[in-house]
């Protein structure tokens, strides 16, 4: 179903075959990661940049290579524009991609983006030729500013990273998607596939999921669930939903009802 | 010996060690690695030329699960 509907995500002129971006963090083993990536149908998987562990390395990139997916380095854990820019440069050097998921957080408690540092880092990286996908607050004004400095997409959060609270402010997400000229990818805080469907119904072009899949009891099944939900939400948005209304609107004809004269008067709604 | 910090740890390196030599201490293969010395990226093509100097801070990074 997901494959037939084929929602694609186009970023910086490049088409991804899936609108679901998968985070590789939080999964228990490389074997499970490989199965999960395949079940998700994703084309793009995020990784963090960390110090080399002399004891063991290589298997993450090997797994992603075998799955045939693109690798998207992030700047997770950076608190300043300077740290994020340097981390992005190292990601480009290590992985041979100019795409970066830009994260600049304000503190370790909320993991919310620091908009001032985020915007500064985005501007710098765009100048250096990066394709910047910034993890952002669900703030339409910040999203506009990120687009104006040249970001290839904006990635507003649904809720704090790893919280599983879903989309706390769907009105803001709708405001962002209504005015954005670049793809909007809902990032962070999703808990269940229905959250991903809502994101797509709100006009997002894609959804980024990590913990909700990788930390679920069955990541492979949950990955499939999210893939289906993204397709379902995309179909729902494209199909044009009915406008909400406060009063009922009968879906069966109200004319030509039978008249049951033989029923006692108290049992008859329609009078002849 | 040249004293430097490698991924946060004090190391004593042979004189005139290069970035390439230092990377080899950590990993059998350079694939998927990137290096910064004193906050500047050293591109792979420059690894064999860039010598480590006293007090250099070297970070050698690779992809890890995340995001």
Q: How confident is the model at residue B53 (pLDDT cuts 50, 70, 90)?
A: very high
Q: Taking CB atoms and an 8 Å limit, are B67 and A72 in contact across chains? A: yes
Please report the pLDDT score of residue A61 as a whole number.
92
Please report the pLDDT score of residue A2 as a whole number.
43
Domains of chain A with CATH codes: 2-247 (3.20.20.70)
For residues A71 and A131, what is the distance between their CA atoms, to the nearest angstrom?
13
Please report the pLDDT score of residue A174 as a whole number.
97
**How are beta strands B9-13 and B2-6 bridged, if at all?**
antiparallel
Please report the pLDDT score of residue A5 as a whole number.
60
Active site annotation includes A15: no
Residue A19 DSSP symbol:
S
Q: Looking at domain B2-62, does it have CATH number 3.10.20.30?
A: yes
Burial of B1 (0-12, 13-18, 19+ CB in 10 A): exposed
Residues of chain A scoring pLDDT < 70: 1-7, 56-58, 270-272
Please report the pLDDT score of residue A262 as a whole number.
87
Structure tokens at B15: 């004189």
If you measure CA to CA, which chain A residue comes closest to B34? Answer: A94
* Residue range B8-48, pLDDT digits in tens: 999 999 999 999 999 999 988 888 999 999 999 999 999 99
For residues A270 and A250, what is the distance between their CA atoms, to the nearest angstrom?
17
ipTM over 0.85: yes
Q: What is the DSSP track for A219-232?
A: HHHHHHHHHHHHHH
Q: Which residues of A touch B31 (CB under 8 A)?
A: 58, 61
In contact, B6 and B22? CB cutoff 8 Å:
yes
Please report the pLDDT score of residue A7 as a whole number.
59
Please report the pLDDT score of residue A267 as a whole number.
81
Please report the pLDDT score of residue A270 as a whole number.
58
Query: A20, A46, A101, A161: which one is catalytic?
Result: A101
Q: Encode A23-48: b = buried (16+ Cβ within 10 Å), e = exposed.
A: bbbbbeeeeebbbbbbbbbbbbbbbb
Please report the pLDDT score of residue A58 as a whole number.
56
């Amino acid at each position: 179903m997901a494959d037939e509907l084929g929602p694609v995500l186009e970023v910086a002129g490049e088409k991804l075959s899936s609108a679901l971006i998968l985070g590789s963090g939080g999964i228990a083993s490389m074997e499970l990661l490989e199965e999960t990536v395949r079940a998700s149908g994703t084309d793009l998987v995020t990784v963090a940049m960390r110090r080399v562990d002399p004891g063991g390395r290589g298997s993450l990139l090997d797994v992603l290579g075998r799955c045939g997916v693109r690798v998207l380095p992030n700047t997770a854990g950076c608190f300043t524009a300077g740290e994020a820019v340097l981390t992005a440069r190292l990601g480009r050097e290590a992985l041979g991609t100019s795409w970066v998921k830009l994260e600049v957080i304000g503190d370790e408690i909320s993991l919310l983006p620091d908009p001032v540092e985020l915007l500064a880092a985005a501007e710098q990286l765009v100048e250096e030729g990066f394709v910047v996908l910034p993890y952002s607050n669900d703030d339409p004004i910040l999203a506009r500013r990120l687009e104006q400095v040249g970001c290839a997409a904006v990635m507003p959060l649904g809720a704090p990273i790893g919280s599983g609270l879903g989309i706390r402010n769907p009105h803001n997400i709708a405001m962002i998607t209504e005015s954005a000229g670049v793809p909007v990818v809902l990032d962070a805080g999703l808990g269940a596939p229905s959250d991903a469907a809502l994101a797509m119904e709100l006009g997002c072009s894609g959804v980024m999921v990590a913990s909700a899949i990788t930390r679920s009891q069955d990541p492979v099944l949950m990955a499939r669930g999210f893939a289906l939900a993204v397709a379902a939400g995309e179909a729902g948005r494209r199909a044009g939903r009915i406008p909400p209304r406060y009063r009922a609107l009968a879906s069966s004809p109200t004319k030509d009802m039978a008249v049951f004269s033989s029923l006692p008067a108290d049992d008859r709604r329609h009078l002849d | 010996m040249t004293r430097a910090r490698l991924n946060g740890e004090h190391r004593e390196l042979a004189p005139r060690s290069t970035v390439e030599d230092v990377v080899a201490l950590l990993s059998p293969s350079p694939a998927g690695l990137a290096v910064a010395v004193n906050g500047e990226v050293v591109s792979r093509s420059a690894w064999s030329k860039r010598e480590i100097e006293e007090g250099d801070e070297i970070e050698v990074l690779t992809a890890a699960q995340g995001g």
